[in-house]
Structure 1
Amino acid sequence: MPYATLQDMIDRFGERELGQIAQGVALEVIDADRVERALADASAEIDGYVGTRYPLPLAPVPALLTRAACDVARYRLYDDAAPEEVRRRYEDVARMLRHIAEGTVSLGERPGTPTVPQVVQMVERSGNAVFRRRTDGGLR
């Protein structure tokens, strides 16, 4: 499930820029299929990080991940010609996703999902001791 839509991309970056980096059959006309593929790839990349800490799919989609998906898709649409600002934003998103995977950044409270791994310790008690004290104070 994509974390962002074509309209999210247009709202953030404008039709003109998208028309230039995802050009369709006419000049500055957006190739919607190309943008959708970039958004699907961005969502898969995000899932690779987020899925280590949260059950997928996420519903509702956190706004933080919508922004992240747009930045990743934009970077991918530029191919090898991404301007410095676009590259920096992508690197910021990648860093944030690593922090989410490590648990140092949270997506907020997710219903039914612990944000901190829970550890359960079980101790079994029996009447028979595994070690016994020797008369000289040592264990046998």
Structure 2
Amino acid sequence: MAYATQQDLIDRFGEEELIQLTDRTNLPASTIDADVVMAALSDAEALADSYLAKRYQLPLDPVPDVLTRTVADIARYFLHGRRTDKDDPVTRDYGQALAWLKDVANGLVELGAAGIAPDQSGDGQVQVSGPGRVFSRDNLSGF
């Protein structure tokens, strides 16, 4: 299930902004390029999943509204590309979205979605294995 759709982006940021960001063939820009929007949404969802997978079984169903907003902000940032500077509201929203995803991954924020991530294997201890020792007291006793 998709976390955000093209219509979510239109509802949040306006159709005119999406036309300006995605129409790369018409001058002046006049239509939304759905392929460009889907690529940005797909990238944003993959980024969100990389954080959510630490605590939740994916895909999330139902999708919490806060996650839809977060993915929409990330997709908008991806659509803007290099056109934003560090003080731009688009960059600010992207930074807030990443900070929120980090908080979810660290367990500081709960999504209220079904499916906490499966238990980690092992009992929390690190196990290391390797080859036997090359040098020991016995084989270096004459040196």
Q: If the length of structure 1 is used for normalisation, what is the TM-score?
A: 0.76
2:69 maps to 67
Q: Which fold has the larger relative contact order, with Cα–Cα distance below 8 Å and residues 6 or more apart in sequence? A: 2
- For structure 2, the residue ranges without an aligned partner over 5 or more in a row are 124-143
| Number of positions where the alignment pairs a residue of Structure 1 with one of Structure 2 | 115
* CA–CA separation in structure 2 for the residues paired with 1:98 and 1:112: 18
Amino acid at match of 1:18: L
Relative to 1, partners in 2 of residues 1:48 and 1:25: Cα closer, same or farther, differing over 3 Å? same
Deviation, structure 1 residue 47: 0.2
* CA–CA separation in structure 2 for the residues paired with 1:19 and 1:60: 29
2:103 maps to 99
Amino acid at match of 2:38: E
- Percent identical among aligned pairs is 46
Q: Where do 4+ consecutive residues of structure 1 move more than 3 Å?
A: 110-114
Say which SS state the counterpart of residue 30 (structure 2) adopts. Answer: coil
1:4 maps to 4
* CA–CA separation in structure 1 for the residues paired with 2:51 and 2:115: 19
- For structure 1, the residue ranges without an aligned partner over 5 or more in a row are 121-140
Please tell me the root mean square deviation across aligned C-alpha atoms, in Å: 1.8
Say which SS state the counterpart of residue 83 (structure 2) adopts. Answer: coil
* CA–CA separation in structure 1 for the residues paired with 2:71 and 2:62: 15
Say which SS state the counterpart of residue 80 (structure 1) adopts. Answer: helix
Say which SS state the counterpart of residue 78 (structure 1) adopts. Answer: helix
Q: If the length of structure 2 is used for normalisation, what is the TM-score?
A: 0.75
Relative to 1, partners in 2 of residues 1:4 and 1:69: Cα closer, same or farther, differing over 3 Å? same
Question: Which of these residues, 81, 85, 89, is aligned with residue 85 of structure 1?
Answer: 89
Contact 2:40 2:78 in 1 (8 A): yes
Structure whose alpha-carbon radius of gyration is higher? 1
